[in-house]
Structure 1
Amino acid sequence: MTGSQHGRDEVVGPQGAGGLVVIPTFNERDNLPRIVERLLNALSDIHVLVVDDSSPDGTGQIAEGLAAADEAGRIHVMHRTVKDGLGKAYLAGFAWGLERDYPVIIEMDADGSHAPEQLHRLLAGINEGADLVIGSRYVPGGELVNWPKRREVLSKGANTYARMALGSSIKDITAGYRAYRAPVLRAIGLDEVDSAGYCFQIDLAWRTLQHGFTVREVPITFTEREIGESKMDGGVILESFLNVARWGWQGRTARFRS
């Protein structure tokens, strides 16, 4: 962890919202209604932005139906015409949330792997002073449920590699369940982020640390999706490997020059 000089006020957002949950989707029509319902039931002051990448299965239309039926106005939908990676979808959602002055912006998967009922743990970390809170599988209390052993080994290996290459102490830097204070996202140079796949998570955590913000991990239960297929592929893995090596080299070079 690194220190931060930013404010520690309890988060309060538009219309009393405690924050904005950004949920990128591509072919998640069966999962989306379940996760949105659980999320809205879990916390009464959270808003949701579904960022759909023109899903051919009609996920975008499902999202529109959920928003239309939401009398409280807590569900919002963004339709993107291109499918250019998880990172780009999140960046679009972050920009939307920052324009509307949400004080905290949360990442959450649509497939049910991140339990909305545990979001309060992340928000508690924010209100206790952290600038970025990561829902971690690999700190004491963190759990994996029904995850294939091959995926677990790959994930733990990727996190070990990232820690060694970057000199970071974050146990689960690849995790996608996280909450950012808005000033963090405004400060770390989102316009310069070009990570498209799951490397995006490492990229933003690393930028957060490099800018002197405080990062905290809280334990969560990660549950393998029951419906649909993972979007992970070989290209995503290669991107992460090469980018982490480049960032690690740049960091060591900068320290040597200083």
Structure 2
Amino acid sequence: MESPDSATAGAGHRPDTGGRRSEVVAADGTGALVVIPTYNERDNLPGIIGRLNESLPGIHVLVVDDSSPDGTGQLADRLAADDTDARMHVLHRTAKDGLGKAYLAGFEWGLARTYAVIIEMDADGSHAPEQLGSLLVAINSGADLVIGSRYVPGGRLVNWPKRREWLSRGANTYARLALGAHIHDITAGFRAYRREVLDRISLDTVESAGYCFQIDLAWRTVQADFDVREVPITFTEREVGESKMDGGVMTEAFLMVARWGAASRLAKLRGRG
């Protein structure tokens, strides 16, 4: 039975991770990197960075900016320059080619350094920095991927339009049935990975660029038999700026999930044969 504060989504044999099942991140966030992709988030970024620093004063942050025309990248540079502890970093990209590509660039940057845990978090305030600690607690307890979930007991949605909620719940139900993955919020973008996961799941072969990027990486993690868990979070609709979601990325997700699910079932049938 799932506990109200942590649900295991992918159990079983875990790949050899060198015995590193003990604590890998300090209570203040030391040892972890938060990757925050940005495009026109100038008004939101300072508040998010400030809340992160207050909640986890040892954590490092990488802002991955896709040449925002509103000056988000330049603001991030100034915030980094003012950080006397050198915990904030900025990666500038010239192409705006999707959330997934921005995260992959951030992962590559983090994996080239010594971070034990790499975290995804939105810049728009929908993911509360104050709740990141609960994801890190689950990582330290042995999880390989921890997803901040809206749809496990204790998870909440605040100020989200009902249409968006129905689309999100429907997409998660569809992905769960199509893939056979026992994850309640596989589309969620607030998550923490042990570096061993990102080292192993062939990031150079990831093609998904939009909404289904989150599904893609979670599915790869499950397929590799890593320990995936969910912890409840409160997801709050952004107050400033506009959502980057559109119909095209939803269509991409629908088609790719169908393809992955069919491939998985075919592989199981062949294995039985």
TM-score for both structures, normalised by structure 1: 0.98
| 1:43 aligned partner, one-letter code | L
2:79 is the alignment partner of 1:86: no
Residue 107 of structure 1 is aligned with which of 116, 120, 126? Answer: 120
| 2:11 aligned partner, one-letter code | T
Distance in 2 (CA, whole Å) between partners of 1:168 and 1:61 is 41
SS at match of 2:54: helix
2:95 is the alignment partner of 1:95: no
SS at match of 1:33: helix
Unmatched segments (≥5 aa) in structure 1: none
Displacement after TM superposition at 1:196 (Å): 0.4
Displacement after TM superposition at 1:18 (Å): 2.7
Distance in 1 (CA, whole Å) between partners of 2:25 and 2:187 is 28
| 1:27 aligned partner, one-letter code | N
Residue 150 of structure 1 is aligned with which of 132, 146, 163? Answer: 163
Large movers: runs of 4+ above 3 Å: none
Distance in 2 (CA, whole Å) between partners of 1:135 and 1:12 is 17
Between the aligned residues of both structures, percent identity stands at: 73
SS at match of 1:201: helix
The size of the alignment, in residue pairs, is: 256
| 1:60 aligned partner, one-letter code | G
Displacement after TM superposition at 1:44 (Å): 1.6
Q: Report the counterpart of residue 28 of structure 1 in structure 2.
A: 41
Distance in 2 (CA, whole Å) between partners of 1:89 and 1:69 is 24
Distance in 2 (CA, whole Å) between partners of 1:207 and 1:133 is 14
Q: Report the counterpart of residue 74 of structure 1 in structure 2.
A: 87
CA RMSD of aligned residues (A): 1.0
SS at match of 1:248: helix
CA deviation profile, 1:128-176 (whole Å, cap 9, x unmatched): 0100000000000000000000000000000000000000110000000
Displacement after TM superposition at 1:9 (Å): 2.4
Displacement after TM superposition at 1:45 (Å): 1.6
| 1:249 aligned partner, one-letter code | A
Displacement after TM superposition at 1:12 (Å): 4.4
2:57 is the alignment partner of 1:48: no
Distance in 1 (CA, whole Å) between partners of 2:48 and 2:201 is 29
2:186 is the alignment partner of 1:178: no
Displacement after TM superposition at 1:17 (Å): 2.5
2:182 is the alignment partner of 1:169: yes
SS at match of 2:40: coil
Distance in 2 (CA, whole Å) between partners of 1:162 and 1:25 is 26
Distance in 2 (CA, whole Å) between partners of 1:190 and 1:2 is 22
CA deviation profile, 1:94-116 (whole Å, cap 9, x unmatched): 00000002100000000000000
The answer to whether the 8 A contact 2:25-2:140 is kept is: no
